[in-house]
């Protein structure tokens, strides 16, 4: 931290009080995977399922945050690191409010994800690897990015001309190529129940 004479101010509402009010504890579900793997789509479906059950959930989407908070960042290794640092801090604030935040970001570097994990207490940060194979992601290519990367129009593209470091110890691994969206989303919700984050799934 570059600023000096800055103090973290604690509120008068405890995490336990927020949990009693909301009926669940805050948590960060970090969805990582290649572009086109289905991270954002899965996060939005899980968000809907949770909200329909009265659970305070919110999606932080990589593209959306680059429209505002991270609009000054590019895709160099340094900018990717700063992007994830900012997102991690935002996610921590959401969790502190008692929300279940679903952060859907390629976040290709293990070190960046580890730094975000370190912001949270044990059991609050949960990494979900959306492990859709590169071949399937490239076949989908919903934004046409893989085609541009293959032609050289886009450089430093994760999975093609830039590395993706897959999680070694993710709490959950999901493959959207072998299962449909509803099945994958239901698996995540059931897993949250088993982890004691939310109540019994309907």
Place of tokens 């505002």: 68
Q: Are 176 and 184 in contact (CB under 8 A)?
A: yes
DSSP string, 146-186: HHHHHHTSS-S-BTTTB-----SS-SEEE-TTTS-HHHHHH
Terminal CA-to-CA distance of the chain, rounded, Å?
A: 44
Residues with catalytic annotation?
107
Q: Are 168 and 182 in contact (CB under 8 A)?
A: no
Segment (H or E) for 59: strand 57-61
Q: Which residues is 122 bridged to in the sheet?
A: none
């Amino acid at each position: 931290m570059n600023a000096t004479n800055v103090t973290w101010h604690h509120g008068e509402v405890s995490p336990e009080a927020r949990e009693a009010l909301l009926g669940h504890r805050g948590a960060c579900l970090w969805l990582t995977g290649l572009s086109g793997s289905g991270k954002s789509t899965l996060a939005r479906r899980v968000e809907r399922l949770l909200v329909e059950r009265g659970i305070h959930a919110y999606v932080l989407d990589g593209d959306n945050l680059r429209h505002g908070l991270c609009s000054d960042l590019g895709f160099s290794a340094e900018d990717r690191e700063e992007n994830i640092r900012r997102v991690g801090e935002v996610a921590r604030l959401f969790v502190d409010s008692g929300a279940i935040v679903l952060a859907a970001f390629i976040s290709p570097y293990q070190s960046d994800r580890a730094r975000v994990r370190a912001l949270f207490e044990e059991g609050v940060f949960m990494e979900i690897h959306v492990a859709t194979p590169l071949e399937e992601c490239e076949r989908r290519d919903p934004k046409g990015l893989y085609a541009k990367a293959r032609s050289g129009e886009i450089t430093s593209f994760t999975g093609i001309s830039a590395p993706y470091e897959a999680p070694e110890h993710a709490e959950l691994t999901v493959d959207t190529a072998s299962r449909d969206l509803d099945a994958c989303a239901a698996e995540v919700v059931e897993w949250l129940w088993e982890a004691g984050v939310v109540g019994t799934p309907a």
